[in-house]
Structure 1
Amino acid sequence: MLTTPSHLLRLSQGHLNLLETCPRKFQHTYLEQLNSPANPEHEERQTLGSRFHLLMQQREMGLPIDSLLAADTQLQSWMSAFTHAAPEVLKTATDNSTFRESEHYRTLQVQEYLLTVIYDLLIADSQQAQILDWKTYPKPPNKRALAQNWQTRLYMYVLAETSTYLPENISMSYWFVQSEGKSQNLTFTYSHTQHQQTAKKLNQLLSQLTTWLERYQQNEPFPQVATGSKACDYCQFVVRCDRTPKTEEIKTQNSLPNIANIQEVTI
């Protein structure tokens, strides 16, 4: 799947995270469209998360949300907690100097790739711009890990590249709406130095991808992570990649009988 000027390969933050974590998994998932059966519990969480995003989008557009809330007590609880924790986020702008848009979509071409981002909510005025993202899983991740996640890096990078805002005037906030029964947030600021670092890392990763794609056209698979990597422990492609998770190795070792307990065979 080589890119051409008329056909740019679209990449999201999820693709970049996957590519950086395990190039071979990127190959199986994105290029070959191989997917394992969905986990019912995971699907349920995704559905509920999508409903909350729809709720917030309709509210921002001025559409009625009472019917959505009435039909789902979980959404009622999350919305109530979020309203209490972040009334300033839900406050509608009273002047024309503030821009607010839900599900704001932007693209940026870097090399032969089209990077795409969708901001759950973008609030901007003449001085600064704030990206907001809704998360519906229970526990906020480690802040340092989230700072290195490509969603954080790419979202602020693209906004700086496609607007007149200086990096120092851009921020991103994640809101965890069901965190321990109350909404919590993690906010990241941006800087010119971070912007340069992201640009360097992004171009390096995309250059690697171009090389791997060219080799893939010659029937050479994408690289694998090192043997014994934790990334393999719960990967759905562990058999396809001929990797055995450590947990399975331990089970196998524990299933072998103790040699001291094996009775001798008399001949």
Structure 2
Amino acid sequence: MNDIDNSHNQSLIRLSQAQLNLLELCPPQFQRLYLEQLGSPVSPEVQDNLLWGNQFHQLMQQYFLKLPLDSILEVNPNLKNIIEALLQGVNEQHNLNAESWTEAEHYRALEKGNYLLSVIYDLLIINENQAEILDWKTYLKPQNKKKLENNWQTKLYLYLLAETSDYFPEQISMTYWFVKIPHEPQFLRFEYNQQLHHQTTLELENLLSDLDNYLLDYHQSNLDFPHRKTCEDNCPYYQLFFSDIINLNETEENSNLFSIIDEIEEVSI
């Protein structure tokens, strides 16, 4: 979200899944990071992870654009092996055939109230009665599937496709593929349905209504975004706002990592 501090003078405010996640978790940190631009540089280790994620997404984009990868993969056997294993898994698990329509880095957006909700699907596979969203993650498969199911990336990606296409929710799914050398690729799939769509609609409307009120108070009355009632127990940014004895560097790094790790910049070819 760029220049959100001036967005009350604009027609729409663009929101991604990462911003929805942070807004739901910690409104004051959302204010701090996106309105006041108070983030700090991340560590070299985090920068390396983000660079690797960018490079991997670019390679997958090139593959599905039918651009050659041989010159890149020949000099990196480990990368070649993991990409070949991933592509084999994708072909086995998904409905890819001569009739399928696919697009890498597929962008969609939906206007909702004062906001423009936007997503970029790493790969979208379209068939007559089925639509599949694929997302590449360059880390190991998480143990807690429920946590990923409740993440706004999963909820927003499925919701937006249902809202902007002719597919019924039951015809839509989302699959995360987890890739980390030297491990074999693994995946988690989430099916969608009308009940989940209704639930996401209500959650989204409530969250955006909260943001409307926060922004109004912030701009008109100079009031900070409020903390959640469960902040002390559940918020990783609690120390940033309330503790006199904090490891500021660690807290800042976690803050920035949370906001950008799922928003690796997509590289246009």
TM band (smaller chain): 0.7 to 0.9
Q: CA deviation at 1:125?
A: 1.2
Which residue does 2:226 correspond to in 1? 223
Give the direction of change, closer, same or farther, for the CA distance of 1:68–1:173 in structure 2 (3 Å limit).
same
Q: Distance in 2 between matches of 1:140 and 1:81?
A: 19
Quick one: higher RCO (CA 8 Å, sep 6+), 1 or 2? Answer: 2
Q: Distance in 1 between matches of 2:245 and 2:77?
A: 40
Report the count of equivalent residues. 242
2:90 is equivalent to residue 86 of structure 1: yes
Which residue does 2:173 correspond to in 1? 171
Of structures 1 and 2, the larger Rg is shown by 1
SS of equivalent residue, structure 1 residue 36 = coil
CA contact (8 A) 1:152 1:172 kept: yes
2:243 is equivalent to residue 243 of structure 1: yes
| Structure 1 outlier segments of 4+, above 6 Å | 89-92, 245-248
Q: Distance in 2 between matches of 1:5 and 1:216?
A: 14
Q: How does 1:12-91 map to 2 (within 5 A)?
A: 12-88=16-92
Give the direction of change, closer, same or farther, for the CA distance of 1:9–1:83 in structure 2 (3 Å limit).
same
Structure 1 stretch 86-95 or stretch 50-59: which is displaced more? 86-95
Q: CA deviation at 1:244?
A: 4.9
Which residue identity lines up with residue 152 of structure 1 in the other structure?
T
Which residue identity lines up with residue 235 of structure 2 in the other structure?
A
**TM-score in terms of structure 1 length:** 0.82
Q: Distance in 2 between matches of 1:133 and 1:186?
A: 10
CA contact (8 A) 1:228 1:245 kept: no
5+ residue gaps in structure 1? 249-267
CA contact (8 A) 1:123 1:129 kept: yes
CA contact (8 A) 1:13 1:154 kept: yes
Identical columns (%): 44
Compute the RMSD of aligned alpha carbons: 2.5
1:129 to 128, 131, 134: 131
Give the direction of change, closer, same or farther, for the CA distance of 1:33–1:6 in structure 2 (3 Å limit).
closer
SS of equivalent residue, structure 1 residue 197 = helix
Q: Distance in 2 between matches of 1:185 and 1:231?
A: 28
Which residue identity lines up with residue 193 of structure 1 in the other structure?
Q
Q: Distance in 1 between matches of 2:142 and 2:182?
A: 10
